[in-house]
Structure 1
Amino acid sequence: MAITLKTFFKFKWTQTLYVGKPPLVEDDAEFDFVNMGINVALWYTKHAAKLAAQPELKMEDAKEIHSCLKKAAGMFKEFKDNQAGKLKNPPQKCSDLDPNVLECYIMCCQAEAQEVTIARAVEKKHKDSLIAALANETSKYFQQADHMLNSKDQIIVGKWRKYLQLKEKFYKSYALCYYGSGLLSDEKCGDSVRCLMDSNQAFEETDKLCKEYITTKGAGSTIRPHEHAFYRNFQKDLQRKLKKSESENGFIYHHKIPPVAPNMSLQATHGLVEPTPYTVPFLSSSWTKAVYAGFSISKNVAQNKKSKVKTEKEGEIQNIKEPDIKVTKDNGCIVS
C-alpha cells in the first residue's frame, strides 16, 4: 500500500534554470520531497543575498549570511548524495535535481561564504598572505563549480557560467593583488610588480566577463557586477598598490621584473568553509504498516484518477517575478 500511495498523486515543480519551460511533473512522492528540500536550501541562499544587500551590514548579519550559505551547502549535499538516488526516474538534465547542478550549488555556496570571510579579513587588516590564500581558494571553488556545467546545455546554463567565470577571475585578481602586496613588504619588489601586473590583467578580463554576463540570456539577475562599489573600490586599491610597487622599484630596489609571476604557494589554514552537515530526519515510528493499511485506494478511484488526467486541462503555473536585489553600499561581498 505504501508504494501505491507513493505514486498515487502527481507533483509539479518548476526548475530554477528552466526559463520559459514547463514545470516537471512526476507521480512520485520522493520527487516532491527532494524538490522541497532543495527549495529550502535555495531559500537560505536568497536570504543570505537579501541580508548582504542591506545599506548597513552589522556583524550579526555577516554571521547569519555565513551560516545560511553553509547550511544551504549542507542541504544540497544531503539531497545530492543520499536522496536524489531514490527517485523513480532519473533527474532531468539541468534541473535542480541534476547531480552536476547540485554539486555546482554546493561549491558556489562554499565560495560565497568564503567571500564573507575575505571581507572580514580585509576589514580587520589581517596579513596579506592570509587574504591572498583565502582569495586563491575561493577562486578555485568558483572554477570547479563552473567545470561542473561544462557538459550541460549552454543555452540553459550559459548565464550562470558567466557569473561563475567572472567570480573565478575576480578572486584570482584579488589573490594576486594581496600576494603582490605581501611580496613588497618582504622587499621582493620585482616579483611584487609582476604579481600586481598580472592581477591588473585578470581584473581587466573580469571586466569583460561582467559585460558578457549582462548580455547573456538565461536564469539570473540583471545586476551589473562591474558597477558595484565593492568591485570599483578594489580596482582603485589595486591601481594604488601597483603604482606604489612600481614607484618603489624604480626609486629604491631596481629589481628585474620577471616575465612570469612567482608560484603562489599559499595554503589557507584559516577561514575555509565546509558545508554544515544536514541529515534528513528518520521516518516517524507512528507510520506503521497498520497505518498505511488504513489508506484504502480502490480500483475505481485509481481508474478515476487516470481518466481525469486525460480529460482535465491543467492550468499553467505562473512564474513569480523575483525582483533583483540592489546593492546600495560596499558591503565587502557580492552574494548571488
Structure 2
Amino acid sequence: MAHWFHRNVFKATTIVHFDIPFVHQDGQAVQLCSQLKQTRQGLLQVLPDVNYGPETIESAFGSYFSLLMGLLTDPTDANQVSKLRQSVVFKWTNSLLGNSPQVVKDSFFEAFNICFNLAIWYMKHASMVAAKDDITLDEAKDVHVSLKKAAGIFQFIQSMYLPQLGSEQIEAGDLDRRILAAYLTQCTAEAQEVTLARAVELKHNPCLISSLAFETSKMFSDAAASLRSLEPAAQWKLYLQLKSAFYKAFAYKYCGENLLSQDKCGDAIRALKEALACYGQASELCKEYSKKKGPAPKASPEDHPFFKRLAPQLKITLEKCERENGFIYHQKVPHDPPQLEEKATYGLVNPDDFGIPSISKLWTPVTYAAFNDATSKSNSNSTSKKPEKDLPPVKETPVHQTSKEPKNENGCSLQ
C-alpha cells in the first residue's frame, strides 16, 4: 500500500564523550560521565528502529535523560540552572537542512534535540503501525496515542527549551518557531485523522463526520501556513496543503449526505460539486508534491485506497442526487457552497502532556561538587565558526508497507 504519511528524517549527531573537567577526582563523577556516554549511545542505537515498542524507547530515553538532567538543573537546587550547562559541545543536524551540523556548547540544545528525535520516532512508529496488514483496534489506538505523544513532546520543547536557546535559532532550522509549530499541528491533525477514520467506520452522523473532517482540514492548512516563507520546507508544505484539500473534500462529501437526508437535494448537489472541486485541488497538489525535491522520502497519498476511493464515491452520490432532484425535488442548486460546520463538538484531539524524567540519584551533592564550574569560563554557547564536516544521515530500519487493499468501503486502514 502507498505511504500515506509524510515523514521528515531523524536528526543526526556525533558521539559525545562527556569529558567534563573535575575540581578533584571523584569515582562516582567519573562513573557518571561514562554512564552519560553509554546511555546516550544506547538511545541513539534504538531510535532509528520504529519496530521497537514504545516501552523500549521510553526506557532508553529515561536512562539517558535522567543523567542529562544534571547538566540542565542544579542537583542541589532544582530552581537553578546547572553550573555544567555549558560544559559539553553538542553537534546536531536539522531535519530540513541536510547533513551539515549545528554546533552548540549548551546542554539545553542537547535536551531539545534528543526530545525532538523522540517525537520524530513516535511519528514514524505511528506510520509503521498504520501500514500493517489488517490493522486491529489496539493497533489503531497505538497510532492515535503515538501521534498525541509526539504532539505533546513538540509542545513541551516549544515552551520549555526554545526560550533557553533563542540565540541559536536559524531560519528553517528545528529551533525555528515556525518549524516547531508545523510539527506540532501536523501531529495533532494526524491523530484527529484516526478519530475521523473511526467515526466513518462506525457510521456516525454525517454532520459530525463533516465537522470533524473540516477541523482536520483547517489543522493541516494551519501547519502549511507556518511554513509559508520557508523554502527548505516547500516539499513538506505541499503535503500539508494536499491533506488539507483532501479533508475539505471529505467534509463536503458528508455535508452533502447530511443535506440529502434532510431532503435538501439542491444544497446537497452544491456540496458534492464543491467536494469534487476540492478533491481535484488535492490531486493537483499530489502531482506537485511528487515532483518537488526535498530532504524527506516522499509519501504517495494519491495511490492510497483511502484517497483513490473518494472520487468515485463522490461521483456516484452526486449522480444519485441529480437524478432524484430531476425526478422528485426539483430544487435550485445554489451558486455558493453550503457553510461547513465551524467547530466540531466531539472527537477533537489535544496533545498529550509530556513529562521529563527525574534527575538520576547518581547526581549527589558530592558528585556535583567534584565537577569544575563551566559558568566561570568566559566562552559563548556557540563554538568556533570553522565549517563543520557533514554528518552521515541516520540509517533507519526499513518499514513494511502492506500490499493488501483494505476490506472496508472507504479504503481507510485505521479502524
TM-score by length of 2: 0.72
Task: Give the unaligned 5+ runs of structure 2.
Answer: 1-22, 24-70, 72-81, 378-382
Cα deviation for residue 87 of structure 1 reads 2.3
Aligned partner of 1:223 among 269, 286, 299: 299
2:84 alignment counterpart: 5
Cα deviation for residue 9 of structure 1 reads 2.0
Change (3 A) 1:324 1:147: farther
Change (3 A) 1:297 1:279: closer
Q: Distance in 2 between matches of 1:28 and 1:43?
A: 23
Residue type of the alignment partner of 1:38:
F
Moved more, 217-226 or 30-39: 217-226
2:127 alignment counterpart: 49
Q: Distance in 1 between matches of 2:104 and 2:390?
A: 16
Aligned partner of 1:84 among 130, 154, 162: 162
**Residue deviations 1:230-274 (CA, integer Å, cap 9, x gap):** 111112211111111111111110100000012123531111100
Instruction: Specify the SS of the correspondent of 2:103.
Output: strand
* C-alpha contact 1:116 1:333 (8 A) present in aligned 2: no
1:318 alignment counterpart: 392
1:194 alignment counterpart: 270
* C-alpha contact 1:37 1:79 (8 A) present in aligned 2: yes
* C-alpha contact 1:129 1:266 (8 A) present in aligned 2: no
Q: Distance in 2 between matches of 1:81 and 1:202?
A: 35
1:16 alignment counterpart: 95
Residue type of the alignment partner of 1:320:
V
1:33 alignment counterpart: 111
2:37 alignment counterpart: none
Instruction: Specify the SS of the correspondent of 1:218.
Output: coil
Aligned partner of 1:65 among 108, 131, 143: 143
* C-alpha contact 1:160 1:219 (8 A) present in aligned 2: no
Cα deviation for residue 288 of structure 1 reads 5.1
Cα deviation for residue 30 of structure 1 reads 1.1
- The 5 A counterparts of 1:67-216 are 67-87=145-165, 89-151=167-229, 153-154=230-231, 156-216=232-292
Instruction: Specify the SS of the correspondent of 1:203.
Output: helix
TM-score by length of 1: 0.88
Q: Distance in 2 between matches of 1:15 and 1:292?
A: 32
Matched positions, count: 323
- The 5 A counterparts of 1:294-309 are 294-296=370-372
* C-alpha contact 2:100 2:388 (8 A) present in aligned 1: no
Change (3 A) 1:283 1:85: farther
Instruction: Specify the SS of the correspondent of 1:12.
Output: strand
Q: Would you tell me which structure has more helix in proportion to its own residues?
A: 1
Q: Distance in 2 between matches of 1:24 and 1:315?
A: 11
Residue type of the alignment partner of 2:87:
F
Q: Relative CO higher for 1 or 2, CA cutoff 8 Å, sep ≥ 6? A: 2
Aligned partner of 1:276 among 339, 346, 352: 352
2:309 is the counterpart of 1:233: yes
Change (3 A) 1:122 1:58: same
**Residue deviations 1:92-136 (CA, integer Å, cap 9, x gap):** 221222221111111101110111111111111111111101100
1:332 alignment counterpart: 412
Q: Distance in 1 between matches of 2:399 and 2:125?
A: 13
Q: Distance in 1 between matches of 2:297 and 2:246?
A: 18
Q: Distance in 1 between matches of 2:168 and 2:365?
A: 28
Identity %: 39
**Residue deviations 1:41-78 (CA, integer Å, cap 9, x gap):** 11000000000111211101100000000011111101
Instruction: Specify the SS of the correspondent of 1:56.
Output: coil
Q: Distance in 2 between matches of 1:333 and 1:97?
A: 34
- Root-mean-square deviation (Å): 2.7
Cα deviation for residue 316 of structure 1 reads 4.1
* C-alpha contact 1:17 1:95 (8 A) present in aligned 2: yes
Moved more, 316-325 or 4-13: 316-325
Cα deviation for residue 289 of structure 1 reads 4.9
* C-alpha contact 2:101 2:388 (8 A) present in aligned 1: no
